[in-house]
C-alpha cells in the first residue's frame, strides 16, 4: 500500500530512475584520461648508427620502463614528449605539470651516478609540492630493477676496496647477486586480519579515483531518502491518515513506512553500482545494503520520533548529512572513532574493506532500535 502511494509521486520515481544514469555517467567520465598531475615522459633517442648491442638492449629496457609507467594505473596522467625542449615548452604552456627525462641507457646512467653522482633521471617541474614528491616514487620503483646491479656492484667495489676492474671479483659478486631471486613484491599491503579482506580487494583498489567516493555519496543519498521518508510519515501522521491504527502500532508503522521507501532506494543503488562498475559480489552487496537500510530506517525513525514537526526534522537533516559525510570514509577516513561510530554510513563503508566491522554494524543496529523503542515508550506511543 505504501509503495503504491509513493509511486504516484512523479518526483520520487524520477529521483529513483535518475540515480543509475548518474552513476553510469560518472563511470564514463572516470574512464577518460585524467589525473591529479600530468607528466611528460621524454626518452633519449637511441642512435641506430650505433652498432653497440648493449646500447640497443639498454634502449629496449628504457622503452619497457616508460611503458610500465604509463600502464601503472596511477592517478597521474602521462603523455609522451619528443625531446626535453618540447617537454619544457609544455610546462611553460601549462599543458603538463612536470617532465621526466630518461637517458638512452639506464645502466650507463647508473654507473655515472655512482661514479660522478650524475642524476639518472632528470625531473623538470614548475613548482614544489607533496604530490610532486610522491610522484617520484613511481620513477624509483620502475628504474630500480635496471640499475640495481650497477648500484650493488659499486657498493661491493667500495667496501672491498677495489679501485680497478677485477673480472674474477665481478663474476663472484654477479653470481651472488643472481642467486637472490625475488619474484613477489617486497612490501604487501593487507587489512587487519587476513580473513577480513574481501577477495576482490585488488579490484576495489584499482578503480578510478573519480569513482572512489561513489559508494559513500550514494549511501548519503540513501540517508537523505530516509529523512524524506521520516518527514512524509510525520506529515501523514499529523494529517490523521493513521488514526485508525492502534497507538501501540505507530512506532512499527513508522519503521515500516521508512523501510519501504529505503528498500526502493536500495534497489536503485544496487543498480547504480552495477552500471558504474563498483559492484563487488552479489552476496556482499545485498547483505550490506540490507543492513544499511535497517540501520538508516532506525536512525531516521529515532530522529522522527524525537522531533515534533517536519520542520524540526528538516532542520536536523542537513547537519546529520554533513556530519555523516565528514565522519564516514566517503572521501577520507579522519580516524576519530568515538564520533564515527555514531553514523550508520561509517559501518557500511568500512565493512567492504574490513569484514570484522559487520559485528559493530550489528551492535549499532541493536542500540539504535533500543533507543527508538525506548523513545516511543517514553513518548507514550507504546
Contacts of 114 (CB under 8 A, 6+ apart): 150, 151, 154
Rounded CA separation 317/299 (Å): 11
Taking only the tens of pLDDT, the chain with its 382 residues reads 555 666 566 666 766 677 777 767 666 655 555 557 888 898 877 655 454 545 545 667 778 888 888 877 666 888 888 888 898 888 888 888 888 888 877 767 766 666 556 677 888 887 777 777 777 788 888 877 777 777 788 778 888 887 778 888 888 888 888 787 665 555 555 544 434 444 444 444 444 444 568 888 889 999 998 998 898 888 888 887 777 777 677 788 889 889 988 998 899 889 888 887 788 889 989 999 999 999 999 999 999 999 988 999 999 999 999 999 999 888 878 888 889 999 999 999 999 888 889 999 999 999 999 999 999 888 766 5
Which stretches of the chain are DSSP H helices? 2-6, 10-30, 53-70, 84-92, 106-116, 130-159, 167-178, 201-205, 214-238, 250-276, 282-306, 310-327, 337-340, 344-351, 357-378
Phi-psi domain of 23 (left: phi exceeds 0; alpha: psi -120 through 50; beta: other): alpha
Rounded CA separation 264/6 (Å): 10
Rounded CA separation 208/76 (Å): 11
pTM score of the predicted model:
0.63
Of the options 3.40.190, 3.40.640, 3.40.50, 3.90.1070, the CATH number for the domain spanning 37-178: 3.40.190
Q: Which pLDDT score, from 0 to 100, does residue 336 have? A: 87
Assigned C-alpha cell, 206: 584499482
Contacts of 8 (CB under 8 A, 6+ apart): none
Assigned C-alpha cell, 254: 513508522
Rounded CA separation 357/355 (Å): 5
- 149-185 pLDDT per residue, tens: 777 887 788 888 877 788 888 888 888 887 876 655 5
Phi-psi domain of 73 (left: phi exceeds 0; alpha: psi -120 through 50; beta: other): left
In the chain, CATH 3.40.190 sits at 37-178
Amino acid at each position: 500500500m505504501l509503495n503504491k502511494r509513493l509511486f504516484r509521486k512523479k518526483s520520487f520515481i524520477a529521483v529513483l530512475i535518475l540515480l543509475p544514469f548518474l552513476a553510469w555517467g560518472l563511470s564514463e567520465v572516470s574512464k577518460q584520461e585524467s589525473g591529479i598531475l600530468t607528466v611528460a615522459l621524454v626518452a633519449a633517442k637511441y642512435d641506430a648508427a650505433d652498432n653497440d648491442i648493449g646500447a640497443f638492449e639498454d634502449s629496449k629496457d628504457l622503452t619497457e620502463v616508460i611503458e610500465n609507467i604509463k600502464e601503472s594505473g596511477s592517478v597521474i596522467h602521462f603523455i609522451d614528449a619528443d625531446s626535453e625542449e618540447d617537454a619544457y615548452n609544455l610546462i611553460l604552456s601549462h599543458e603538463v605539470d612536470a617532465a621526466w627525462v630518461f637517458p638512452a641507457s639506464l645502466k650507463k646512467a647508473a654507473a655515472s651516478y655512482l661514479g660522478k653522482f650524475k642524476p639518472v633521471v632528470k625531473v623538470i617541474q614548475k613548482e614544489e609540492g607533496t604530490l610532486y614528491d610522491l610522484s617520484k616514487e613511481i620513477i624509483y620503483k620502475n628504474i630500480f630493477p635496471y640499475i640495481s646491479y650497477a648500484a650493488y656492484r659499486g657498493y661491493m667495489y667500495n667496501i672491498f676496496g677495489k679501485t680497478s676492474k677485477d673480472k674474477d671479483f665481478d663474476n663472484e659478486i654477479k653470481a651472488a647477486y643472481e642467486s637472490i631471486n625475488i619474484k613477489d613484491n617486497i612490501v604487501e599491503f593487507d587489512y587487519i586480519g587476513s580473513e577480513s579482506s574481501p577477495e576482490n580487494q585488488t579490484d576495489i583498489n584499482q578503480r578510478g579515483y573519480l569513482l572512489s567516493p561513489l559508494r559513500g555519496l550514494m549511501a548519503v543519498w540513501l540517508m537523505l531518502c530516509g529523512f524524506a521518508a521520516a518527514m512524509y510519515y510525520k506529515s501523514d501522521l499529523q494529517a490523521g491518515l493513521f488514526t485508525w491504527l492502534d497507538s501501540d502500532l505507530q512506532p512499527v508503522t513508522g519503521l515500516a513506512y521508512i523501510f519501504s521507501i529505503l528498500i526502493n532506494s536500495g534497489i536503485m543503488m544496487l543498480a547504480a553500482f552495477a552500471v558504474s562498475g563498483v559492484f563487488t559480489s552479489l552476496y556482499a552487496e545485498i547483505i550490506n545494503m540490507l543492513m544499511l537500510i535497517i540501520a538508516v530506517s532506525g536512525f531516521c525513525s529515532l530522529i522522527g520520533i524525537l522531533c515534533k514537526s517536519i520542520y524540526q526534522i528538516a532542520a536536523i537533516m542537513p547537519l546529520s548529512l554533513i556530519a555523516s559525510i565528514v565522519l564516514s570514509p566517503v572521501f577520507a577516513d579522519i580516524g576519530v572513532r568515538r564520533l564515527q561510530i555514531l553514523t550508520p554510513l561509517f559501518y557500511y563503508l568500512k565493512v567492504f574493506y574490513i569484514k570484522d566491522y559487520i559485528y559493530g554494524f550489528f551492535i549499532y543496529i541493536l542500540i539504535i532500535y533500543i533507543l527508538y523503542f525506548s523513545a516511543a515508550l517514553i513518548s507514550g506511543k507504546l
